[in-house]
Amino acid sequence: MPGLFEENTEQGKIKYLDNLMKKVYIDDIRRNINTSLIDELSATVDALCSVTGNLTNPLNMTNYLKSERQIKIDNETVTKFIEGIKDAFLFDKVKRYNIKGMAYLNTPSKFYCQDIGLRNVRINFREPNEGFLIENAIYNELKTREYLVDVGFVETKVKNKLGKWVYAQLEVDFIVRRGSKEYYIQVMDEVPVGKHFNNEYDALLAVPGSFKKIVVINKPLLSYTNKDGILIISLEEFLLNQNSLDL
């Protein structure tokens, strides 16, 4: 938010973002969807901030608000609130895509906030969950570069801890498309070594086809392509190099 640059202290920045959320975004959403349920709308915004990067749907949100916040609300109202929140450009809804089945699933989906600062201030910097916030930052960067972004999953057979073959859905953090180009991106803390049951790396290995596969590591390193043909790149280089997907 550009107004942050006019604030010289951390407390000033927090106050600016808090006022922006309360007096601009929430009020704007309330007017646009024509609701008087201010507390319920605010609680829905808070809930979305808490589940950033997690799979969820309006029914889950409704149940959460009822059980954790003791707010009486129905699924239809929560759906209406979420649509208003999306229209205000607070959050993006990202659908899941079945890579092998080549089809979208309407639910559950992921929600990413368009400004991480607003999200953090809204929940008083609780629930930092660095992994999900890094995912969010990568998602925002991909959208800034004008890519189409989905959350992917691939169904494959894996061995469980008992050594038996079972079907599993492995998640691919992002499927990224622009024109004829397509990329599969996984966000990890460590460089992948070997294959492990239900490991994020296994999801990339299970993706069919020859489209580029990328692992973004939250550590400094020199980018390289490993023996599986997967580009390993640091978070810093991914964010700072506009051509990072094509290294």
Sorting pLDDT into bands at 50, 70 and 90, what band is 158?
confident
Does residue 153 share a domain with residue 230?
yes
pLDDT at 198 over 60: no
What's the pLDDT at 220?
Answer: 94
Does residue 86 share a domain with residue 154?
no
Whether 50 is covered by a domain: the verdict is yes
- Sign of the alpha-carbon dihedral angle for 247, 96, 169, 114: positive
Mean pLDDT, residues 88-96 taken together: 95
Of 173, 171, 193, 174, the residue nearest 182 (C-alpha): 174
Whether 62 is covered by a domain: the verdict is yes
Residue 13, classed as helix, strand or coil, is helix
Does residue 86 share a domain with residue 6?
yes
Structure tokens at 152: 């992917």
Q: Which residues pair with 175 in a beta bridge?
A: 150, 184
Mean pLDDT, residues 237-246 taken together: 94
Residue 121, classed as helix, strand or coil, is helix
Last residue of a domain, one of 44, 64, 91: 91
Residue type, 26: I
What are the CA-CA distances from residue 63 to residues 51, 132, 191, 229 (Å)? Answer: 13, 22, 38, 43
Does residue 78 share a domain with residue 152?
no
Does residue 242 share a domain with residue 152?
yes
Mean pLDDT, residues 103-113 taken together: 92
Does residue 235 share a domain with residue 152?
yes
Residue with tokens 């169904």: 155
Give CA–CA dist 188/96, Å, rounded: 19
Whether 179 is covered by a domain: the verdict is yes
- Which residue range is the domain that position 163 belongs to? 148-246
Q: How many CA atoms lie within 13 A of 209 on its CB side?
A: 12
Whether 127 is covered by a domain: the verdict is no
Does residue 78 share a domain with residue 157?
no
Give the angle 148-139-225 at the CA atoms, nearest 5°: 90
Does residue 86 share a domain with residue 7?
yes
Per-residue pLDDT reduced to its tens digit, 202-222: 899 999 988 999 999 999 999
Prior bond to 2 cis, omega within 30?
no
Whether 229 is covered by a domain: the verdict is yes
Whether 117 is covered by a domain: the verdict is no
What are the CA-CA distances from residue 118 to residues 19, 143, 180 (Å)? Answer: 10, 18, 34
Whether 169 is covered by a domain: the verdict is yes
The number of distinct structural domains making up the chain is 2
| Kind of pairing between the strands at 103-113 and 91-98 | antiparallel
- Sign of the alpha-carbon dihedral angle for 83, 84, 85, 90: positive
Does residue 154 share a domain with residue 71?
no
Whether 43 is covered by a domain: the verdict is yes
